[in-house]
Structure 1
Amino acid sequence: MSSDSSPVQVYVYDLSGGLARAMSQGILGRQIDGVWHTGIVAFGQEYFFGGTTGIEACAPGGTILGNPTQKVDLGVTEIPFDVFMDYLHELAQTSFRAETYHLFHHNCNNFSSEVAQFLTGKDIPSHITSLPQDVLSTPFGAMIQPFVESMHVQGGHSPFQSSNNPPN
């Protein structure tokens, strides 16, 4: 690996704490295994998108969600850290500003998908990105939409510091 390369993973968290797996069949009429939040881990930090502050970063597994349910290896990026930070900064100013967040249509999983493809050319698992539409297509999904949209993940900080070096 060159000095600019970094392993890339998607960290997957179940916001329902197992309730989706246990109760979805009876409530939705279809089985879902979790209500997924994702973050991309690269250059020693976890990057994610939320509706409170937009793009955030923290130590891997450092959100209020604790340890991820699953870690998916996406490969290694050869994108230099400073190019990655420029890319994130551009996203933070355009398509992933805090006010653009929508739990079902423009969320952390859309962010993780886009960043994963930028860094590795690979996408995050499709069952994660298709979940909102799967849920909304059920009668109960339409009923719970206002409640679910109030969920946000916090616990990071802005990744845009004056340094062009990866965090330790």
Structure 2
Amino acid sequence: MGGAISVGAAATGEYPVVLNVYDLTPLNNYVHWCGLGIFHSAVEVHGSEYSFGAHDLPTSGVFEVEPKSCPGFLYRSSIFIGLTSLHPLEFRDFIQRMASEYHGDTYHLISKNCNHFTDDLSTRLTGKPIPGWVNRLAKLGKLGM
């Protein structure tokens, strides 16, 4: 996977990092305006989108798809997070190392979900977290544990 790098990004040595947010339920159309919702998120960088999902094996749950087309989810919006100085080849090494920290069998809906991954990835790449509303429901769930 991977797409073309913009001429501006190549010239400056900085590349955009974008959060793509998806709805997990049609109810989000109603509760989103109250600051709630159940969302899936992924980070788009260098023409591909990266996220984290569950499976039963002790191997990476990080996966790569075409931007804004994650299977099983309805695309909602994109949010510019910031810029990264990692060149595509440096990023490939970086994401492979980071993927080893996110095994599919460690996924947890409240404490280690796709939004935790995208927050970690965004922060490492840009120094900026994802917006709080994206993972608000998990944070509220953690309070009830």
- Mark yes or no: TM-score above 0.5: yes
- Cα RMSD for the two superposed structures: 2.4
Could you tell me which of 5, 21, 24 is aligned with 2:14? 5
Question: After superposition, where does 1:108-119 map in structure 2 within 5 Å?
Answer: 108-119=114-125
Structure with higher Rg: it is 1
- For 2:52, what is the secondary structure of its paired residue? strand
Number of residues of Structure 1 aligned to a counterpart in Structure 2: 131
The two structures have a TM-score, normalised by structure 2, of 0.77
Q: Gaps spanning 5+ residues in structure 1: where?
A: 25-30, 143-168
Q: Is the 8 A contact 1:13 1:65 kept in 2?
A: no
Deviations 1:55-102 (A, max 9, x none): 001110121245521110112211122222222111222x20111111
**Corresponding residue for residue 5 of structure 2:** none
CA distance in 1, matches of 2:41, 2:107: 14
% same residue: 27
CA distance in 1, matches of 2:140, 2:125: 27
- For 2:96, what is the secondary structure of its paired residue? helix
Q: Gaps spanning 5+ residues in structure 2: where?
A: 1-8
Question: After superposition, where does 1:65-144 map in structure 2 within 5 Å?
Answer: 65=72, 68-93=75-100, 95-135=101-141, 137=143
Q: 1:102 to 1:6 in 2, by over 3 A?
A: same
Could you tell me which of 24, 42, 47 is aligned with 1:15? 24
CA distance in 1, matches of 2:31, 2:125: 36
**Corresponding residue for residue 61 of structure 1:** 68
The two structures have a TM-score, normalised by structure 1, of 0.68
